[in-house]
Structure 1
Amino acid sequence: MSRFTEVFERLAVTVEARKGASASASYTAQLLADPARAAKKLGEEAVETVIAAAQGDKAGVAAESADLIYHWLVVLAAAGVSLDEVAAKLEAREGTSGLAEKAGRKG
């Protein structure tokens, strides 16, 4: 198991555990209680990751990617979407060219 996988799994468990936490004591709980705010934060972190990448800022890409992944996990939890549901979507696309998959999407 990679270091990333181990850290990611611990973070995912922590985010899920914060669902019942007090919003006054947990930033994650605050975001989970306000899905629109969580989604906005995810967007902000995505933009910051893109900017760091466009600037060739390797350390910035790593730091912003960590923020992006955290906020992505929070958005999933707030939306009630499990990692297994995301994995199923990825598995369904395995072995399909990205161009073919995109062309096959409806709407």
Structure 2
Amino acid sequence: MSALQRLSDTVAARGSADPDDSWTARLLAAGPEKCAEKFGEEAIEAVIEAVKGDRDRLIGEAADVLYHLLVMLAARDLSLADVEAELSRREGVSGIAEKAARK
């Protein structure tokens, strides 16, 4: 099992935890909008580090982005498996063709 899958499982398990004891539970209790806001903040921080070129800080921010993405998905009753299924569906399809099919 990958670290990302273990994190996804942890996020799912913490959804029922006490918000006083779990940051994940606290975020989920705040609702999908707050989870999306936090994801956006972390994504912006990752972009800033990518532009600056600090490898270690970008790795840390990328980890934060993945965590907050999983929390945001959980807030809407979605999982890493749902995203993986979509990635599998797109596998072998040109990015250009995939984008054109969305229109």
Identify whether the pair has TM-score above 0.5, normalized to the shorter chain. Answer: yes
Which residue is equivalent to 1:8? 4
Q: Count residues with an aligned counterpart.
A: 102
Residues 45-95 of structure 1 show CA distances to partners (whole Å, capped at 9, x for unaligned) of 111111100111111110000100100110111110122221121111111
Aligned-partner Cα distance in 1 for 2:81–2:44: 26
SS at structure 2 position matched to 1:21: coil
4+ residue runs of structure 1 moved beyond 6 angstroms?
none
Aligned-partner Cα distance in 2 for 1:8–1:76: 14
Q: Which runs of 5+ in 2 are unaligned?
A: none
Aligned-partner Cα distance in 1 for 2:81–2:13: 17
Aligned-partner Cα distance in 2 for 1:15–1:83: 10
Q: Which runs of 5+ in 1 are unaligned?
A: none
Which residue is equivalent to 1:51? 48
SS at structure 1 position matched to 2:24: helix
TM-score calculated relative to the size of structure 2: 0.92
SS at structure 2 position matched to 1:81: coil
Q: CA RMSD in A?
A: 1.2
Return the match for 2:94 from 85, 92, 97. Answer: 97
The one-letter code sitting in structure 1 at the alignment partner of 2:86 is K
The one-letter code sitting in structure 1 at the alignment partner of 2:96 is L
Return the match for 2:19 from 23, 45, 56. Answer: 23
Give percent identity, aligned residues only: 51
